[in-house]
């Protein structure tokens, strides 16, 4: 389906095969393997990481100086190195590094691997790109390499799902992907069909699904190792709209081809579960993913219709393209049964969030403690998946008042990302954070560093890092 490189740790490199040499500004040149360092190869700490091609006979080596901070510089250098190897038509890499900081070498490897990703399921000719890498470093440990492969593999799984066309990825197929990964990675999945969804009176999910010929699913993921540090679970909720036409509030033609990515929140939840389970992190985790497509038919919701969500809230649907919040409402209400320590939802929810801060970051908001928000910011800076907090002030609730129902599903022209989050807040009575990843989940243009065109895998590295810190 896709291609992403794997990396392994080696004891002694064969310098005849070394094609990536990582140094820091104090590092010693590996005289025994590569001969004398040419005088023209000079470190320049003022310029960020440096990549210098170095020919030696018939061999080509890329000398990389990893200068200082932040680690994102090293990831970007890894992505640049992947591009050079692709140009050289290398499908493997042997990395020698004496950069004293193991984190820098690991960050470089992370960028190298993530940049090697290709979604090739539907291509007749495959791109010749990096398949494997070997690394020698005096301070990098096997477990670190193992976890790096796990993390990058989880990101690749998330990207794959986001890149799948709607002709393949129905709600049922999404559930099958959950079941497959659960079996391989070591967590549990329960898939609820339409009859069970009806018995639970999930009017938001059923309402959005009205226009479709295909049934919805509601997916419950569970990971609970015996050594879990938390008695109350962390709950991850993901928007699983596998294709979004906008319904009767029809989207414009330009950009509709990208609406296969409207289930990126669901894919993020799966990626996190895969990473956490394969790393054997001691955390009790629940995942909730409502899944459907949003289509047009005689049965589809019309603007002005009123639905009732599973907690009894009546909602006046003024815009059928504001459907994600309707299915999330049922999932957030369902989360109450777990008495959760924290709930985090992930959704390509609003164009307003994307317009506010572009593809450089996500919007987040919620009622979680300030210490939790700080931990999210720390994790975000560490993996360079950064967010901007928006408020959920009480006054924004006024935007959602309806004359004929308890709430309406849109607030108006102003503060669209905030009122969408405020709508979701109504269904939460626990510590909660909402992540609007509309601008960051899918790149329509070209690749940016180690983030490819198409599905990005946003949120997997962020939340895995947050959970690792939580478990520490």
Domains, in order of start, for the chain: 2-140 (3.40.220.10), 164-471 (3.40.630.10)
What tokens appear for 164 in the block?
């799948």
Catalytic residue among 251, 336, 377, 386: 251
Buried b (16+ CB within 10 A) or exposed e, 130-161: beebbbbbeebeeebbebbbbbbbbbbbbbbb
166-175 pLDDT per residue, tens? 999 999 999 9
258-312 pLDDT per residue, tens? 999 999 999 999 999 999 999 999 999 999 999 999 999 999 999 999 999 999 9
Q: What pLDDT is stored for residue 17 in this prediction?
A: 86
Look at residue 47 and tell me whether its pLDDT is greater than 70: no
398-423 pLDDT per residue, tens? 999 999 999 999 998 899 999 999 99
Whole-number percent of the chain with pLDDT over 70: 95
| Average pLDDT of the residues in 208-213 | 97
With cut-offs at 50, 70 and 90, classify the pLDDT of residue 390: very high
Catalytic residue among 118, 159, 295, 325: 325
Which of these, 266, 259, 416, lies nearest to 347 by C-alpha position? 266
Per residue, the 3-state secondary structure of 350-370, as one string, reads: CHHHHHHHHHHCEEEEECCCH
d(CA 258, CA 367) in angstroms, rounded, equals 31
**Cβ neighbours around 282 below 10 Å, total:** 15
Look at residue 139 and tell me whether its pLDDT is greater than 80: yes
| Average pLDDT of the residues in 224-252 | 97
- Between the CA atoms of 466, 271, 244 and 426, what dihedral angle is there, to the nearest 10 degrees? -40
d(CA 77, CA 16) in angstroms, rounded, equals 23
Q: What pLDDT is stored for residue 351 in this prediction?
A: 94
d(CA 407, CA 394) in angstroms, rounded, equals 14
- Spatial contact of 372 and 433, defined as CB atoms under 8 Å apart: yes
307-350 pLDDT per residue, tens? 999 999 999 999 999 999 999 999 999 999 999 999 999 999 99
- Spatial contact of 424 and 329, defined as CB atoms under 8 Å apart: yes
| Average pLDDT of the residues in 351-365 | 96
Q: What pLDDT is stored for residue 342 in this prediction?
A: 98
Q: What pLDDT is stored for residue 252 in this prediction?
A: 85
The distance from CA 15 to its chain's CA centroid, rounded to whole angstroms, is: 37
The answer for residues whose C-beta is within 8 angstroms of residue 44's C-beta and 6 or more apart is 50, 65, 67
Q: What pLDDT is stored for residue 45 in this prediction?
A: 66
DSSP SS3 for 165:
coil
| Average pLDDT of the residues in 423-428 | 98
- Spatial contact of 208 and 301, defined as CB atoms under 8 Å apart: yes
**Cβ neighbours around 31 below 10 Å, total:** 9
Q: What pLDDT is stored for residue 24 in this prediction?
A: 81
CA 436-440-443 angle, to 5 degrees, is: 145
pTM reported for the whole predicted model = 0.96
Buried b (16+ CB within 10 A) or exposed e, 89-105: ebeebbbbbbbebeebb
Q: What pLDDT is stored for residue 239 in this prediction?
A: 98
d(CA 424, CA 330) in angstroms, rounded, equals 10
With cut-offs at 50, 70 and 90, classify the pLDDT of residue 52: confident
Dump the DSSP string for 308-331: E-TTS-EEEES-TT--HHHHHHHH
Burial class (CB in 10 A: 0-12, 13-18, 19+), 47: exposed
d(CA 150, CA 148) in angstroms, rounded, equals 5
Look at residue 32 and tell me whether its pLDDT is greater than 80: no
CA separation, residue 443 to residues 53, 79, 187, 258, 447 (Å):
30, 16, 30, 9, 7
Euclidean distance between the first and the last CA atom of the chain, given in angstroms as a whole number = 35
Q: Which residue has the higher pLDDT, 3 or 374?
A: 374
Active site residue 201: no
d(CA 139, CA 71) in angstroms, rounded, equals 17
Active site residue 56: no
With cut-offs at 50, 70 and 90, classify the pLDDT of residue 56: low
d(CA 283, CA 137) in angstroms, rounded, equals 31
Specify which residues 285 forms β-bridges with: 223, 234
């Amino acid at each position: 389906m896709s291609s992403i490189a794997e990396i392994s740790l080696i004891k002694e490199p064969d310098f005849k095969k070394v094609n990536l040499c990582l140094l820091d500004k104090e590092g010693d040149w590996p005289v025994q393997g590569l001969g004398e360092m040419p005088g023209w190869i000079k470190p320049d700490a003022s310029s960020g990481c440096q990549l210098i091609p170095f020919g030696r006979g018939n061999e080509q080596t890329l000398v990389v100086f990893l200068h200082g901070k932040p680690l994102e510089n090293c990831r970007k250098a890894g992505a640049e190195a992947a591009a050079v190897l692709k140009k050289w038509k290398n499908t493997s890499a042997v990395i020698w590094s004496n950069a004293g900081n193991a984190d820098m070498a690991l960050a470089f490897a992370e960028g190298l691997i993530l940049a090697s990703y290709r979604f090739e399921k539907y291509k007749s000719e495959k791109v010749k790109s990096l398949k494997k890498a070997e690394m020698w470093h005096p301070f990098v440990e096997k477990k670190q390499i193992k976890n790096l492969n796990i993390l990058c593999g989880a990101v690749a799984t998330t990207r794959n799902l986001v890149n799948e066309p709607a002709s393949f990825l129905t709600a049922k197929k999404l559930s099958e992907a959950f079941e497959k990964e659960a079996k391989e990675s070591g967590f549990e999945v329960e898939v609820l069909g339409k009859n069970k969804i009806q018995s639970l009176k999930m009017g938001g999910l059923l309402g959005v699904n009205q226009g479709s010929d295909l049934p919805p699913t509601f997916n419950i993921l569970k990971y609970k190792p015996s050594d879990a540090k938390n008695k109350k679970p962390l709950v991850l909720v993901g928007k699983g709209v596998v294709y979004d036409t906008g319904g009767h509030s029809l989207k414009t033609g330009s950009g509709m081809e990208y609406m296969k990515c409207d289930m990126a929140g669901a894919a993020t939840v799966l990626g996190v579960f895969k990473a956490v389970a394969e790393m054997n992190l001691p955390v009790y985790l629940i995942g909730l993913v409502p899944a459907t497509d949003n289509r047009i038919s005689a049965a589809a919701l019309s603007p002005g219709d009123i639905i009732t969500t599973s907690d009894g809230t009546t909602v006046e649907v003024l815009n059928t393209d504001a459907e994600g919040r309707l299915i999330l409402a049922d999932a957030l209400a369902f989360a109450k049964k777990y008495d959760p320590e924290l709930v985090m939802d992930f959704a390509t929810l609003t164009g307003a969030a994307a317009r506010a801060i572009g593809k450089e970051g996500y919007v987040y908001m919620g009622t979680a403690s300030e210490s939790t928000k700080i931990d999210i910011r720390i994790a975000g800076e560490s993996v360079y998946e950064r967010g901007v907090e928006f408020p959920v002030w009480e006054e924004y609730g006024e935007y959602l008042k309806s004359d004929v129902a308890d709430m309406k599903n849109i607030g108006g022209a102003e503060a669209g990302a905030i009122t969408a989050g405020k709508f979701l807040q109504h269904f939460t009575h626990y510590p909660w954070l909402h992540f609007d990843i509309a601008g960051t989940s899918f790149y329509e243009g070209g690749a940016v560093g180690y983030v490819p065109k198409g599905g990005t895998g946003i949120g997997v590295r962020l939340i895995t890092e947050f959970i690792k810190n939580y478990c520490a």
